[in-house]
Amino acid sequence: MTPNRKKPNINTTPVELMPDFQFAISVDCVIFGYEENTLKVLLIKSDLPAFANKWSLLGDLLHPDEDLDAASYRVLRDRTGLDNVFLEQVHTFGQVNRHPAGRVVTTAYYSLVNIRHHQLSQLDNELHWHPVNDIHEMAFDHKKILDTCLKHLQKKVQEEPVIFNLLEQKFSLRDLQNLYEAILDVKLDRRNFRKKLFTTDLLTDIHEMEQDVPHRPGKLYTFNHARYAKMKKKTFVGIDF
Amino acid sequence: MTPNRKKPNINTTPVELMPDFQFAISVDCVIFGYEENTLKVLLIKSDLPAFANKWSLLGDLLHPDEDLDAASYRVLRDRTGLDNVFLEQVHTFGQVNRHPAGRVVTTAYYSLVNIRHHQLSQLDNELHWHPVNDIHEMAFDHKKILDTCLKHLQKKVQEEPVIFNLLEQKFSLRDLQNLYEAILDVKLDRRNFRKKLFTTDLLTDIHEMEQDVPHRPGKLYTFNHARYAKMKKKTFVGIDF
DNA sequence: GAATTATACGTACTTTTTACACATTAACCC
DNA sequence: GGGTTAATGTGTAAAAAGTACGTATAATTC
């Protein structure tokens, strides 16, 4: 636990650095979005020859004077222009040979963003939203990271109302149900879904209706952040397996 | 994401190493045990002057040719002599100044062991089991790590039957309930607890009774690993917040 | 052997989950 | 403009799970 070495500086010899301070650390962000009834993830074409034409998560190396969490926020901000978005650490991947350029341990985060709230940088023409279910091969161990984050998301949306980060501010119950179904990959009963959601008391009826839909328009709601903040956290004590 | 540098070797200059490969990575293990109706954690006296007389988690630096998970298993094996025990990654802590010796990012794991199944090394007279609730100050950011892992454990024991790792192979329902109560810090109704546990069908009645207890002896049970393995994982789909 | 204490078991009540049916509204098509 | 289509909006009964709680039994202690 204790690296009894002084902080390396420009005069530090390699021998002094070795073997403890020879690691690189990166963060990788699984940025989820939702569009056309489909859960998507933002990917970039890998810039490594070893992974030519493979898609890669958005990541970067941790800077020497940067907190780990800050690095993931930086990646997200730089790539999407978005700030103050939902971002959570999931898991750290540290297989010896996971990166061809050397020993790079990476910490995976996932983020939930509203696709329409940002513009992909014009410069980033290698950046694209991909339906999560269409992704089979990726660079590095990124498929494994994606799978891990997706499982985490599936669990999370059932425990906390983070799902609203993926929707427009105003949404119909149908939108919300479609999104749950897309993430969880299940079909839900419409009537029981509505009942359940209304008992949470977190939806505000804004007395507006959907516009330009080719069927009877549904009511629009917003997520009541204030009420959720005040909600006493469910001190769930049960055994459930 | 791409450190375009060659793998460092003994001839690599510091300038080449900087700034990417100047991190150290450690693992820290929160090793939980259960004794005298109390949840405990295995700690060691910090060997850093900066944290003299503070207690510290068991950890070590990641070796250059070692998987991250392997490092945590190594720490556990070296310290407790135990192998094949429950061990799970929880979170990675990467604040810039969390370690006085330099930039060390640490990945926290927690483990559940049976205190009586191992002997603390005679050499490790600085190693002790501490009641979790008595710990207030620790070295580094280890108190925060401990708290994070404890919360994780509290959630986990309600979702999966990992708790049996902390008990003897044979245990009474009272033992089991006491342990749940110690971990979750709640009082449970004895009758409902029994009912719930029996519906899981994971306890095997071995037709033995407690010995040498100063009251009516209870039946002893074992955890049915085989049945749990066969149990189809509860594909829980619900919204619960 | 009476008092104490913990085990073992059962039942009524409440809450949550699940399954399922019908009327309503707006767009579309002829 | 009226019938068709496809979605929204609401209600109710049965099943399952969770909660509260009473009493008999077995072993120890004094």
Q: Parse chain B into domains and list their residue ranges.
A: 14-159, 169-230
Residue A100: cis peptide before it, omega within 30 degrees of 0? no
pLDDT at residue B236, as a whole number: 62
pLDDT value at residue A238? 85
Whether residue A145 has pLDDT greater than 70? yes
The predicted structure's pLDDT at residue A126: 84
Average pLDDT, chain A: 88
Residue B190 confidence (pLDDT): 94
Mean pLDDT of A134-159: 96
Class for the domain spanning A168-230: mainly alpha
Q: Does the pLDDT value for residue A107 go beyond 60? A: yes
Looking at per-residue confidence, does A19 or B206 come out higher? B206
| Cβ within 8 Å, pair A28-B1 | yes
Average pLDDT over residues B32-42: 94
- CB-proximal positions of chain C, under 7 Å: 5-11, 17-21, 24-28
Please name the amino acid found at residue B71. Answer: A
- Torsion angle (degrees, nearest 10) of CA B201, B111, B25, A26: 20
d(CA B90, CA B133): 20
The pLDDT-based confidence of B143 (bands split at 50, 70, 90) is very high
pLDDT value for B62 = 96
Confidence category of residue A223, pLDDT binned at 50, 70, 90: very high
- Specify whether the CB–CB gap between B27 and B107 falls below 8 A: yes
Pick the CATH number of B169-230 from 1.10.10.10, 3.40.50.2000, 3.40.30.10, 1.20.1440.230: 1.10.10.10
Using CB atoms within 10 Å of the CB of residue A123, give its burial: 0 to 12 exposed, 13 to 18 middle, 19+ buried.
exposed
Q: What percent of chain A has pLDDT over 70?
A: 88
Per-residue pLDDT at A182: 95
Fold identical between A14-159 and A168-230? Answer: no
Q: With a cut of 50, say whether residue B3 has pLDDT above it.
A: no
Closest CA to B164 of B30, B28, B32: B32
User: Is 80 exceeded by the pLDDT of residue A20?
Assistant: no
Residue A177 has what pLDDT? 96
Residue of B92, B154, B189, B225 to mutate when probing chain A, most A C-beta within 10 A? B92
Phi, psi of A90 (to 5 degrees): -115, -55
* Averaged pLDDT for residues A229-234: 76
CATH 3.90.79.10 fits A14-159, yes or no: yes
Closest residue of chain A to B22, computed from CA coordinates:
A21
Percentage, residues of chain A above pLDDT 90: 67
A216 touches strand D (CB under 7 A): yes
